[in-house]
Structure 1
């Protein structure tokens, strides 16, 4: 018994050493970077890209370089709440004021409260909230949870297929291993037709993170009880909390977080960032392809 335990400990150590070696190899492979690209590429970040590509340094390098080009062009860290606040008026996506039982940040999505039709603004709003969720992850926590409430959802409220595809692409390609789980709460039967199309945009790793929750299914509700504190979980997800989204209050919180984000990323000179080392310049970025398979989010 002791020998088996000792062997397990050794193999765990070997795996850790091998992973750290891969992180060093990936850092060497991407070469010299500076500014926000360097700030972005922490060891934890490199590990997430390696994990998403099954620890292949070559594939991880390609994926990471695509993200650095995307970030240089899209500048997600520079989006500010006042620019996209109109998208959030109905509370269709917001960062929850509670965590799951492991302390992960929770994003609440209510597709039935869709209030706009601009693809670009919808994407900027979602990217802003993903960045904000990451900014608010507790120390030592890498992943977030999505809670999706289908109250009031219908095919007429569904976002365009273009927006759906790009959401999957951005989450899987540029935020690998950031999603722990997505709980789809009480989806109507008509959603099944929509889901049959959507699931083709998801790679197997992301697909496995999606949980369908049905209030009348005891096994489903047990999963919610194991994942969240009923006292803080909103009633629309089977919990006991009656708290509601307050747009003015949320806007005040986001204004404070925007200051934190500026402090975190630094008010780097835009021109210097534009010509950041290694060619991650917004002027050289090719258009993003549509959703690509095989990116673990």
Structure 2
């Protein structure tokens, strides 16, 4: 017994040493970085890219360089809430005021609440909220969970295939290993045709993180309870909490987070007319207790 434990501990040390060696190798391959690129490419960031590319340094380098190029153009760290707030008026995507049992930030997506037609603006809104989710991760946690509510979803309000493809591309290629799990809660039967097309854009690792959940399926109910405290989980997802999206209140919270994000990146916070829209901070409900380790 003790020998097996010792070997296990030895294997963990070897794996850690190998991963650190790969990080150094990738860092060397990237060469000198400056400015925001240097700030972005932390050791944790390099590890996530290596993990996403099965620890292949050359593929990880290519992925990171493409992300740095994308970030230099898209400038996600510069997006401020007042620039995308119109996209959030219906609560189609927002950060929940609770974490899952593993300390992950939770994004709630309600595609049936789509309220605009510009895919570019929709992507800016989503990227803003991904960045915000990362900003609000507890120390030691690097991933987020997505809860997707299909209430009101139809072909007239659904997400276009191009928008779904762009979302998947951004998430997989520019935020590797940031998504822990995505729950598709009670999608309607007509969603099947849409899914048959969209799933081909998913790489195998991301595909494994997508979970279909159905209210009358016992395994689905147990799966949700393994990830979430039902007292915090909204009734729309099988929990007991009442969920009412308050756009003004959420805007107050985002204005507060914009200041935090600007400080993190060393930027001047950008608000319309030099104000914070009159918003003050918003309180968040108490967190559930977290279990010790993250689920795969």
Question: Is TM (by shorter chain) over 0.5?
Answer: yes
Gaps of 5+ in 1: 269-297
* TM-score, with structure 2 as normaliser: 0.89
- 1:259 maps to 259
Q: Distance in 2 between matches of 1:103 and 1:11?
A: 27
Q: Distance in 1 between matches of 2:141 and 2:23?
A: 19
- 1:146 maps to 146
Gaps of 5+ in 2: 269-296
1:103-252 equivalences in 2 (<5 Å): 103-252=103-252
C-alpha root-mean-square deviation of aligned residues, in Å? Answer: 0.8
* TM-score, with structure 1 as normaliser: 0.89
Per-residue deviation, 1:158: 1.2
Per-residue deviation, 1:178: 0.1
| Local SS of the residue matching 1:49 | helix
Q: Distance in 2 between matches of 1:7 and 1:253?
A: 48
Per-residue deviation, 1:45: 0.4
Q: Distance in 1 between matches of 2:227 and 2:245?
A: 21
CA displacement, residues 128-171 of structure 1 (integer Å, 9 cap, x when unaligned): 00000000000000000000000010111112221111111000
| Local SS of the residue matching 1:141 | coil
- 1:279 maps to none
Q: Distance in 1 between matches of 2:217 and 2:160?
A: 30
Post-superposition, which runs of at least 4 consecutive aligned residues in structure 1 deviate over 6 A? Answer: none
- 1:45 maps to 45
- 2:33 maps to 33
| Local SS of the residue matching 2:98 | strand
Q: Distance in 2 between matches of 1:102 and 1:8?
A: 24
- 2:83 maps to 83
Per-residue deviation, 1:18: 0.5
Per-residue deviation, 1:183: 0.3
Q: Distance in 2 between matches of 1:102 and 1:263?
A: 27
Per-residue deviation, 1:243: 2.9
Q: How many residues of Structure 1 are paired with residues of Structure 2 in the alignment?
A: 268
| Local SS of the residue matching 1:208 | helix
Matched, 1:73 2:34: no
Per-residue deviation, 1:250: 0.2
Q: Distance in 2 between matches of 1:105 and 1:224?
A: 15
| Local SS of the residue matching 1:17 | helix
